[in-house]
């Protein structure tokens, strides 16, 4: 637990510096690097890590997707890049003479396109009006829900939530995570209202806290299925006490695009002019 806290503590000021002091493109680059590493981790657990070309193709496009979001690349060029990516993947199938199966290519598409697109919601949030404040919403909800579930589950967890998928997740932990997410979201909205003159809808804030917490659990469980089926505990050991990049950002891949969607229909905060 101590290692987990020590590893996470330096990331908080780093996030503040990236969001408030650095050019917005830096977040896109960092998200791109995260996506590239995540694609490698997913390829590794499927055994495709031995094929260097597949790694290169998948990591390259995974890195590019968040940058496309930031620079608003024309659709035609996005389509060209995706078609080239598919052509390279199927060329590998032909060249391998049946060694590389179609389901392996599906993993490349998932890790090279789907996961980066979902995580690129952070970039799209950052590029919105008042995006430097909005981009914190998925971090507040997902991270506090995860932390709350971990500590409360460890202290009071008795009833397994979905033991056939995640043996360590308890119902008490999930409830605690939802509560922490809601409290964190309300506190964040109070800060925005009184320190930065935002107009806040607190009913929507409660909805965000609850919905994002459960979305984070869903994202975590999706990747827990992969870990259980491949017989691994973590996707890597890049972050001490947390595992790999995918272990840390699995819930964010669901929460970030959900926040983007919620903001379109339930605008929780609005800057007072």
Looking at the structure, tell me whether residues 270 and 150 fall in a common domain: yes
Same domain, 36 and 171: no
Query: Along the chain (273 residues), what's the average pLDDT of each consecutive run of 10 residues?
Result: 55 82 94 96 80 90 96 92 93 78 84 96 96 96 92 86 83 94 98 96 98 96 88 78 84 97 96 80
Specify whether 155 is located in the same domain as 175: yes
pTM as predicted:
0.92
- The pLDDT score that the predictor gives to residue 52 is 86
Domain final residue pick, 98, 127, 156: 127
Q: Quote the pLDDT of residue 2.
A: 47
Token digits for 266?
Answer: 């339930």
Domain boundary among 76, 97, 127: 127
Give the dihedral of Cα atoms 212, 149, 17, 121; nearest 10 deg: -30
Q: Half-sphere exposure (CA, 13 Å, Cβ side) for 255?
A: 32
Residue that finishes a domain, picked among 111, 127, 143? 127
- Give the per-residue pLDDT at 6: 53
SS3 271: strand
Which tokens in the block code for residue 7?
């590893």
- Structural domain including 59 reads 1-127
Return the pLDDT at 128. 95
Q: How far apart are the first and last CA of the chain?
A: 44
Tokens 């299925």 belong to which residue?
225
């Amino acid at each position: 637990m101590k290692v987990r806290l020590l590893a996470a503590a330096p990331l908080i000021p780093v996030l503040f510096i990236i969001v408030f002091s650095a050019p917005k493109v830096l977040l896109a680059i960092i998200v791109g690097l995260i996506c590239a590493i995540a694609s490698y981790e997913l390829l590794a657990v499927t055994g495709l890590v031995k094929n260097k070309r597949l790694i290169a193709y998948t990591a390259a496009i995974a890195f590019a997707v968040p940058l496309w979001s930031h620079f608003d690349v024309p659709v035609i060029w996005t389509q060209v890049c995706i078609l080239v990516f598919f052509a390279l993947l199927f060329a590998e199938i032909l060249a391998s003479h049946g060694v590389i199966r179609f389901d392996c290519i599906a993993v490349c598409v998932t890790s090279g396109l789907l996961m980066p697109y979902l995580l690129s919601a952070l970039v799209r949030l950052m590029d919105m009006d008042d995006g430097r404040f909005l981009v914190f919403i998925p971090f507040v909800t997902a991270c506090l829900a995860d932390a709350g579930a971990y500590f409360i589950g460890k202290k009071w967890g008795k009833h397994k939530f979905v033991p056939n998928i995640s043996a360590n997740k308890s119902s008490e932990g999930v409830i605690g995570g939802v509560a922490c997410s809601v409290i964190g979201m309300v506190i964040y909205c109070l800060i925005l209202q009184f320190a930065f003159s935002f107009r806040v809808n607190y009913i929507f804030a409660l909805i965000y806290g609850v919905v994002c917490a459960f979305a984070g659990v869903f994202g975590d469980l999706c990747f827990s299925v992969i870990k259980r089926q491949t017989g691994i505990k973590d996707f890597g050991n890049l972050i001490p006490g947390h595992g790999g990049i995918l272990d840390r950002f699995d819930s964010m891949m669901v929460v970030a695009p959900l926040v983007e969607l919620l903001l379109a229909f339930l605008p929780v905060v609005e800057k007072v002019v």
